[in-house]
Structure 1
Amino acid sequence: MSSFDTYNYDVLVIGAGGAGLRAAIEATANGVSVALICKSLLGKAHTVMAEGGIAAALSNVDERDNWRVHFADTMRGGQYLNDWRMAELHAKEAPDRVRELEAWGALFDRTKDGRILQRNFGGHKYPRLAHVGDRTGLEMIRTLQDHGIHQGIDVHMECTIINLLKDGERVAGALGYEREKGQFKLFRAKAIVIATGGIGRAYKITSNSWEYTGDGHSLAYHAGAELMDMEFVQFHPTGMVWPPSVRGILVTEGVRGEGGILLNREHKRFMFNEIPELYRLQTADNEEEGWKYTQGDRLAKRPPELLTRDHVARCIVREIKEGRGSPHNGVFLDISWIKTKIPNAAEHIKKKLPSMYHQFKKLADIDITKEAMEVGPTTHYMMGGIRVNADTQMSTVPGLFAAGEAAAGLHGANRLGGNSLSDLLVFGKRAGEFAARFAKENSQGVIDDRKVEAFVQQALEPFERTAGDNPFQVQYDLQDAMQDLVGIVRKEDELVKAMHELKKLRERFSKVRVIGNREYNTGWHTALDLQHLLTVSEAITRAAIERKESRGAHFREDHPQKDEHSGNCNLIIVKGEDGQMLVKRMPLRDMRPDLIQIIDEMK
């Protein structure tokens, strides 16, 4: 038998970003013992990369804003595939979660009369994003950590969970290992919250950090939970494209929210060329109307650069494919031009976008107050995830909860910028609350030691092989295949080819070999991550094949139109009895009449 440390908790939270921290804080406030698992170090959460702001209808800049408008914007952005109950709860509760964050010490930019300032963002009708320059995610994590460390939460840093454990149908614990020493850890828990973020590292070009290997999605799937909306991968329109060493690093939508415009090689604003009818009434029709740069602009029309991310990303790809891209295969994003509109523009830009100014100055030797940036689409966010109950955040496995990017439902076919930070606050709180309630109402489940031992031996197999693939090469080839075959623009023959490639990659994964010992062995870590990357890549590809239409972030070149008949459903990924991955169609739930009325009024 292998030796490992054993821990007992009421609630185990896997993931220490915004959703995980908020869930842990809420669970502890409900009087249960809580452990927080960090794959990296506490504070190194991907939430710190969120720059633009937190979407919440505070109505501080425009009193016309309210939860109803926010709800309608979210549903429209998600092409009405959203879980409408989640969208309702999110829009109603986001303002309280932001004020709560402020009460815990978060510092926000302010209006002249001292209220939280809000900025324009893509897909939002009014200025709605509460922000701290372009460092909002960093401020959120700082605030949640400062508040959370006083709540009695046990934190296990540089610890990776590799399997969930069950007692019958319900979850009972998790098996993980210390990344530094390679020592295994067994966590017994009455309830588990998955808050592991997204899947970006399945693609070659991504804004996501190394931790984003789809762990939570895969862990839940193999434990019997259902995944939903996995075909909807958001490609952020603006990531850095030059130099190659920083390709994919996020360029916040806040640049466009502050007046940045997109230009092609000919230095023309191409976003005016194709404005969807759905947004035409809200979008400026010419450059004179559409250049807005300042918060608090009361005009109803927005510049076309602030259309939804899926649309902007496809327009950029079109310019590049048709030969109008920038020298390094992107397009230009120019904020410097606002010097023609406002005095002291350089200082304004440095104040509003300090991280972007320093990022481009240090990484690309570009002064964004004087010259344009080169940007292009980058894999950014997964709308799909673990299917959960809208009110409780519990998955289809009793005792297993999910929140943040790891959970599905709120965003539908496309997420609006800023909704991710309010999502993790609203549903992180709910997941922690109901996980604590579940833990109080249920006893500790029984864990089969033989299963634990089998999982341990399985994790150590790469050390025992004398021949086999390098795990880094398998991961690189996987990222290549997903980028080329299951990217922004998809078609049937490429998706089928991707399935064949994934089958071959899975065979190679079963034979990967690592050398050295278990102490901080990055090859071993990569080998263990591969099982998750392969699972989520297969789920994305199978769902993309099944959805034979274009909607939101899922664009099929061979099916460019929306199918209002067969497309109005969510695709569910389940593990069959034979271990094969299956795709099922789930009809949309009928929306409450009062919410239908809100959407009709907003149209």
Structure 2
Amino acid sequence: MEKDNIQIVHTDVLCIGGGGAGITAAISAKKQGARVTLISKGKLGNSGNTIMIGGSYSMDGKSAKDYGFKKADASFTKEYLFEQIVKQSFYLSEQNLVQQYVEESPNIVYQCYQWGEQAKIKQKFFSPGGWMLSGHAMGKALLQGMKETPGIELLEDIMIVDLLKSDGKISGAVGYHVYTGQAVLIHAKSVVIATGGYQPFSVTSTNSDVVSGDGIAMAYRAGAQLADMEFLLFIPTALEPQSSKGSILPFLLYSSGIPIDTVDCEGSPVKIPPQMRKMAKGSELDKVIFNYYWSNRLAMGKGTESGGLYMDFSKLARLPKFILNFGFQESLKYFKDFYKYGYYHSDNLFYFKELMLEKKKLEFALCSEYSMGGIVIDEAMATRVPGLFAAGEAGSGVFGACRVADATTEMMVQGVKAGCSATQYAQSNAQPAVDDGQLQKLLDKIQAPLERSSGVNPLGVIQKIHQAADRGFGSIRNEEGLSRALAEIEQLRDGELPFLAARCKSPSYNYERLCAIQAENMLTCTEAGIRAALMRRESRGFHVRSDYPQVDNDGWSVRILEEQGPDHMIMSKRKPVVTKLPIPKGTEMNIPEFMIKQKLRFKNASIR
């Protein structure tokens, strides 16, 4: 690709990512007086994972009460929230980042609430201190924030391919217009990565198909460290009916308290002890509890052909018809506040009810909805690369091995901080000159899939990544499966990635070229995750190993770090930052025993 047909952009702060972290970073930077450019791979507020959420954003109950919300629970204090996030991270969170989350969340959360009211979205307050809303409503609230902050340069439908550096410092980024193919060069003094996490599996859950770890992988190639990549949050997700595949409706049904059993492929029930069921009630701790017991049944070889289990509706079907209909109507009343009547997102709830009663059981799987791992950042959201910052799910450090607090709050808190820090850096540093050699290499990289006359199909490589992750890197892991998955990923990295070729050679909306770029990023993140999972010879949070079921606090209360070496991924480990709560010692026989000993009781889902 020639340099004379490039769109050139000059800015102080470049924010990459069109979700909550990117938008709040851009707003924050603009309010600090910076020239700001916000780039999104899709349409702002209507692409990526923001529109996929069906959840909440929140602050501590005491702060919510201070803002005038009478139903807030003032006993749910900042101190309590801090303690519970650290404990539920299985003590792997960076406690300085948790403190920041707790202290700085009220301001931006209330600001988002006000944006939502201005945009006239539907949002419902629930105790202790949160608001329930749909993903589209969150997108509208964030767009209202953009509307109230004029002067931000917005570039949509642009795929950023890589970051530029000069003399070790960030100097900008290179990408291309998805629809026209035109290359884009952005000169920037600082960059905020806000591109979300990664999802390497064949069935997605509240993840769009563009969540390929782009920002995480770009930061890694630029010299940043990654951490906690082995920790992915698995949640019960529909496999049937086909129209609902990927929906988290099974999770919502289980969490609602409806009498639903879980059975394996032989029809045997998967029991959860009463003490753990009590701990799960009214709390998003139910996710890690479900994951542990159901994953261990899968480890016994009792899963379906698709690697799932069944929701058993037999008890529900035996209820008197009037009770069943009353309960269903109450559910419809809840969902109608946020979605079209009779639907959850695109799920037809009337059809789902018919299938429940007709088939008596429906298949689901444990699928990833969030990645706790990502780029290593400090309290300023700075990476170790000068001029590079990260926020939200692309970063790491708040949630450690298990997230139960709101990720939407995390993305906004860290977005605001990253925008402020990136502006301060830009105001103190001159614009570095672009390295022409690096620029040309990136332009060639963009063009390579179109110029190869033959080669490997990028879609096939992504499918093989999914297959490798499904087989060895899912909700239950062991040495053999992880080693096999890593070997498959290494073969794709060395034997197929260098030869990716798009069959269509047109630069205009070439989906295979887009997949070629994403495949490299997904391979990097998946390799990092599998290597860390192999290294961590214990179970902790959402990392469940059938061959190492114990929680080993003495040996593995550490973060696993990864960075790019000359010819391979370099692994290391260190203790997380501790400010208040000491890391426990000793070993627990399994994850439930750890949770019981720590007296986890996070009641953050009282709307259920």
- Quickly name the TM-score band, shorter chain normalised: 0.7 to 0.9
Contact preservation (8 Å) 2:56, 2:131: yes
Check 1:460–1:310 CA distance in 2 against 1; reply closer, same or farther (3 A cut): same
Check 1:552–1:40 CA distance in 2 against 1; reply closer, same or farther (3 A cut): same
Higher deviation after alignment, 494-503 or 170-179: 494-503
Higher deviation after alignment, 253-262 or 538-547: 253-262
SS at match of 2:552: coil
Give me the TM-score of the superposition, normalised by structure 2: 0.84
Check 1:253–1:421 CA distance in 2 against 1; reply closer, same or farther (3 A cut): farther
Distance in 2, Cα, partners of 1:540 & 1:131: 31
Contact preservation (8 Å) 2:392, 2:407: yes
Distance in 2, Cα, partners of 1:377 & 1:73: 24
SS at match of 1:396: coil
Check 1:92–1:342 CA distance in 2 against 1; reply closer, same or farther (3 A cut): farther
Structure 1 position 488, deviation (Å): 1.1
Instruction: Give the residue type in structure 1 aligned to 2:386.
Output: P
Q: Quote the residue 2:429 is aligned against.
A: 442
Q: Quote the residue 2:126 is aligned against.
A: 117
Asked if 1:217 corresponds to 2:216, the answer is: yes
Contact preservation (8 Å) 1:401, 1:431: yes
Q: Quote the residue 2:142 is aligned against.
A: 144
Q: Quote the residue 2:160 is aligned against.
A: 161
Q: Quote the residue 1:296 is aligned against.
A: none
Q: Please, which of 558, 567, 579 is the counterpart of residue 556 of structure 2?
A: 567
SS at match of 2:185: strand
Q: Quote the residue 1:291 is aligned against.
A: none
Distance in 1, Cα, partners of 2:169 & 2:274: 50
Q: Please, which of 288, 297, 311 is the counterpart of residue 332 of structure 1?
A: 311
Instruction: Give the residue type in structure 2 aligned to 1:219.
Output: M
Structure 1 position 595, deviation (Å): 11
Task: Write the deviation string for residues 100-154 of structure 1: whole angstroms up to 9, x where unpaired.
Answer: 11222345655xxxxx323xxxxxxxx454213xx1x332221111220342211
SS at match of 2:384: coil
Q: Please, which of 8, 21, 26 is the counterpart of residue 28 of structure 2?
A: 26
Check 1:166–1:333 CA distance in 2 against 1; reply closer, same or farther (3 A cut): farther
SS at match of 1:503: helix
Check 1:306–1:178 CA distance in 2 against 1; reply closer, same or farther (3 A cut): closer
Task: Write the deviation string for residues 72-123 of structure 1: whole angstroms up to 9, x where unpaired.
Answer: 221121101001111112122223322111222345655xxxxx323xxxxx
Q: Please, which of 361, 375, 387 is the counterpart of residue 386 of structure 1?
A: 375
Instruction: Give the residue type in structure 1 aligned to 2:568.
Output: Q
Contact preservation (8 Å) 2:21, 2:392: yes
Q: Quote the residue 1:113 is aligned against.
A: none
Identical-residue share of aligned pairs (%): 27
Task: Write the deviation string for residues 35-68 of structure 1: whole angstroms up to 9, x where unpaired.
Answer: 1111111222311211121242125343321111
Structure 1 unaligned residues grouped into runs of 5+: 111-115, 119-126, 285-300
Higher deviation after alignment, 217-226 or 138-147: 138-147
Q: Quote the residue 1:353 is aligned against.
A: 335
Task: Write the deviation string for residues 433-474 of structure 1: whole angstroms up to 9, x where unpaired.
Answer: 111111111111111122111211122122222322211111
Count of residues in correspondence between the two structures: 558
Q: Where does 1:166-185 land on structure 2 (aligned, <5 Å)?
A: 166-185=165-184
Q: Where does 1:453-468 land on structure 2 (aligned, <5 Å)?
A: 453-468=440-455
Q: Quote the residue 1:510 is aligned against.
A: 498
Contact preservation (8 Å) 2:297, 2:303: yes
Distance in 2, Cα, partners of 1:561 & 1:601: 18
Check 1:426–1:56 CA distance in 2 against 1; reply closer, same or farther (3 A cut): same
Asked if 1:63 corresponds to 2:48, the answer is: no
Q: Quote the residue 1:290 is aligned against.
A: none
- RMSD (CA atoms): 3.1
Distance in 1, Cα, partners of 2:348 & 2:527: 38
Distance in 1, Cα, partners of 2:136 & 2:250: 13
Instruction: Give the residue type in structure 2 aligned to 1:214.
Output: G
Distance in 1, Cα, partners of 2:571 & 2:179: 38
Higher deviation after alignment, 58-67 or 176-185: 58-67
Q: Where does 1:402-441 land on structure 2 (aligned, <5 Å)?
A: 402-416=390-404, 418-441=405-428
Structure 1 position 156, deviation (Å): 0.9
Q: Please, which of 352, 363, 385 is the counterpart of residue 366 of structure 1?
A: 352
Q: Quote the residue 2:465 is aligned against.
A: 478
SS at match of 2:520: helix
Higher deviation after alignment, 11-20 or 325-334: 325-334
Instruction: Give the residue type in structure 2 aligned to 1:99.
Output: Y
